[in-house]
Structure 1
Amino acid sequence: MTLYLGIIFALLCALASNLAFLYKHRGACSAVKVDIRHPLRTAVSLWSQKWFAIGMLIGAGAWVMHVAAIAMAPLSVVQAVLSGGIVLLAVMADKMFGFSVGKRQWWGLACIAVGLILLGVTMPDAHGASSNYSLPAMIAFEAGLLSVGILLTMGTRIPGSHEHHGVMYAAAAGILFGVCNVGVKALTGVAADHGVLGVLLSPWTLTSLIASAGAFYASARSLQDGDAVPVITITGTSTTICVIAGGILVFGDPLPGTALGIVVQAFAFLLVVVASALTPAPVRAARAAAAPAAA
């Protein structure tokens, strides 16, 4: 019963998360440009936008449901369920918010959803929602992802990369959200063993807070620099891949026990990577559209 409740919370989280991102996109585009050198001014400007604030509140509710889900079900199972929300994103963006979703993006979103669902389906049955983890693996995993997230944000300063800024910030945000989610999963076990004091003193609390703050600014900037559907998709996909990897490498979620299962998982990862490249609009098309306007 606990496992099924976790799946239900994951489904509700997927719906609320997509709705939150779409509202935040609407609000972020009206705020001042996100500048991490001025975090307070940036945060005030973002929160002063009604739609961004609504999106953040909905997102907070989604986060609570996510925590409940990962406390009741294995991390990889929860992320597999959340991956189905990517298709919901396109429908909501098109029907509720009036964003144009091209055929290429529909194909990309569908392939990502199939790939992520295959990853979840091929995971062997896990018993319970264990939060036990390997400390060396946890340290290496969190430190590695934090480094990649920082490098992606720094990469936006490379001359000539302006067209890719939205995607790069989105990927960084997704990775940092992944760091936070893996840390929160560990904290559910700390809370069960040592209570609130243990959570407050745990290094994973500080790690999760730092990652969450970085993800907040990177995600907001990605929503300003990129189109809604591609950047939200890349953020969610990056988070999912990071958390599934964390479930396996840190918490010992089992791998497929057959050669076929391993081949299917490898294909699923490849499908997600290729589909993620399809989702953003072609850069040459964007330049061609911008050229007449500039003239």
Structure 2
Amino acid sequence: MSVSVAVGLILALLTAFGSVAGFLYKFRGARSAPQVELRRPVRSTILLFRSPVYSLGIAIGLSSWLVHVGALALAPISLAQATVAGGLVLLTVVADQLFGIEVTRREWIGVTLMAAGLAALAATLDGDARSAHSHYAVGTLTVFLLATAGGGLLVTALFSRRASALAVAAGFEWAAADTSIKALSGHLGALGAGVLVQPLALVIFLASMVGLLISARSLQLGEAVPMIALTSAAANLTTIAAGPLVFGEPLPAGQAALVVRLLAFALVILAAALTPPPVQATIQQTRGSIGR
């Protein structure tokens, strides 16, 4: 493993903690803010930022995001996201010990399984640690971004009152942003600050802001731990997939690796289904939120 990749993975670990802390502050702020109206994004965003707690969460999240940019620039995207995904286990600990949020046994188990599955899934990729793997084909990247960001918008439109669906949709939007960051990082040496005026920079901004608003609504409708876990799982799973699909990261050969990968994927899906509360409880919770 090269020194630069090792530094990238350390940055990814710092990203995991910062992301969790920022998310939990945003949860508290979103719960005290007026209801997010997805059809009025500018007004809803302004109202959210009027909450000092939410703004603090954004500040922490932004710092974490900048560290994440460094991680994606230095390490293969699958290895960086595996580290961030493994850090998801911090969610239950930080929520319980530092924020005083009650974490159910169902959530402890679900988040732990989700983190293990995501990390195992990424670990089955060859993830060549000697290179950052930033090269891509424009057509492939475009299709991936359209499918990811478009999928997030479609889920939001179809299930605008379902907290779990919105959490997943937010994760898709952030995965589109993270994949764009990785692609843009490959041009940093040649363009320098010029990367800020590239089309991908606009994609990063729009996908990040849309994801932020959708995530805030999911946090208003659902509970902290399951919503954050679902958003993180959707973002990490999709971004890990971008490694071999978009950036040509090599896949390992052999049936054993394939079996492990399939089992890891199944584990993530199982954990995603296990972590949120039962559907009936979610429906009652949503009705209560709408009535506020």
Cα distance in structure 1, aligned partners of 2:188 and 2:155: 33
Tell me how far 1:170 sits from its aligned partner: 0.6
Deviations 1:60-102, CA, capped at 9 Å, x for gaps: 1100110011111100000000112211100111112222211
- Correspondence 1:47-66 to 2 at 5 A: 47-66=49-68
Cα distance in structure 2, aligned partners of 1:201 and 1:82: 28
* Structure 1 portions without partners, runs of 5+: none
- Percent identity over the alignment? 39
- The alignment partner of 2:70 has SS state of helix
Tell me which of 67, 70, 83 is aligned to 2:69: 67
Tell me how far 1:156 sits from its aligned partner: 2.2
1:269 aligns to 2:265 (yes or no): yes
Which residue type is aligned with residue 278 of structure 2?
Answer: P
Show the counterpart of 2:149: 146
What TM-score does the superposition give when structure 2 sets the normalisation length?
0.93
Greater shift, 104-113 or 188-197, is seen at 188-197
Cα distance in structure 2, aligned partners of 1:287 and 1:155: 16
Show the counterpart of 1:13: 15
Tell me how far 1:283 sits from its aligned partner: 2.1
1:233 aligns to 2:229 (yes or no): yes
Structure 2 contact 134–185 (Cα < 8 Å) conserved: yes
Cα distance in structure 2, aligned partners of 1:129 and 1:245: 15
1:250 aligns to 2:252 (yes or no): no
Greater shift, 25-34 or 126-135, is seen at 126-135
Tell me which of 184, 190, 194 is aligned to 2:191: 194
Tell me which of 165, 170, 178 is aligned to 1:168: 165
Which residue type is aligned with residue 150 of structure 1?
Answer: L
Show the counterpart of 1:38: 40
1:288/1:181 CA distance change after superposition, 3 Å: closer
Cα distance in structure 1, aligned partners of 2:134 and 2:285: 50
Structure 2 contact 134–247 (Cα < 8 Å) conserved: yes
Show the counterpart of 1:23: 25
- The alignment partner of 1:29 has SS state of helix
Which residue type is aligned with residue 176 of structure 2?
Answer: V
Cα distance in structure 2, aligned partners of 1:85 and 1:250: 24
- The alignment partner of 1:133 has SS state of coil
Show the counterpart of 1:79: 81
- The alignment partner of 1:175 has SS state of helix
Which residue type is aligned with residue 104 of structure 2?
Answer: G
Which residue type is aligned with residue 148 of structure 1?
Answer: G
1:102/1:137 CA distance change after superposition, 3 Å: same
Deviations 1:201-220, CA, capped at 9 Å, x for gaps: 42212222221121011011
Cα distance in structure 1, aligned partners of 2:284 and 2:251: 46
- The alignment partner of 1:84 has SS state of helix
Cα distance in structure 2, aligned partners of 1:48 and 1:252: 43
1:115/1:290 CA distance change after superposition, 3 Å: closer
* Structure 2 portions without partners, runs of 5+: none
Pairs aligned (count):
285
Tell me which of 76, 94, 100 is aligned to 2:102: 100
Show the counterpart of 1:181: 178
1:23/1:274 CA distance change after superposition, 3 Å: same
Cα distance in structure 2, aligned partners of 1:111 and 1:125: 22
1:134 aligns to 2:117 (yes or no): no
Which residue type is aligned with residue 102 of structure 1?
Answer: T
